[in-house]
Amino acid sequence: MKLFRKDKLTVEQEMIQGCIAGKRAMQKMLYDLYAKKMMAVCIRYSKTSFEAEDIMQEAFIKVLSISEALKESVRLSFGFAGSW
């Protein structure tokens, strides 16, 4: 699989745009791609595995919430929210 194509978006760019658009499959792809690495970082900063899981869950919720905010920002910047 080529990651960089001149006329197409990279896989990561497509995934990020899918997350911004609220596509669940892309959100799952993001989770599957980064969950193990994030969990390793969370374990380093927590006292228990339960705390690490909670930190990771909160982090993903924040990332997906930010993607929802980006969706609104993109909609406003391109005039999809209605005419002024």
Spatial contact of 71 and 18, defined as CB atoms under 8 Å apart: no
Q: Does a structural domain hold residue 37?
A: yes
Q: Is the pLDDT of residue 73 over 70?
A: no
d(CA 84, CA 43): 49
> Span 15-20, mean pLDDT?
86
Q: Does a structural domain hold residue 34?
A: yes
d(CA 76, CA 84): 11
Q: Does a structural domain hold residue 77?
A: no
Nearest to 17 by CA among 72, 79, 71, 83: 71
Number of domains the chain is built from = 1
Q: Is the pLDDT of residue 9 over 80?
A: no
Q: Does a structural domain hold residue 36?
A: yes
Q: Does a structural domain hold residue 42?
A: yes
Q: What is the pTM of this model?
A: 0.66
**pLDDT range class, residue 8, cuts 50, 70, 90:** low
d(CA 84, CA 82): 7
Give residue 26's domain range.
11-69
Q: Does a structural domain hold residue 35?
A: yes
Q: Does a structural domain hold residue 40?
A: yes
What is the pLDDT at residue 53? 95
Spatial contact of 46 and 55, defined as CB atoms under 8 Å apart: yes
User: For the chain, how big is the Rg over CA atoms in Å?
Assistant: 16
pLDDT tens per residue across span 47-71: 999 999 999 999 999 888 887 666 6
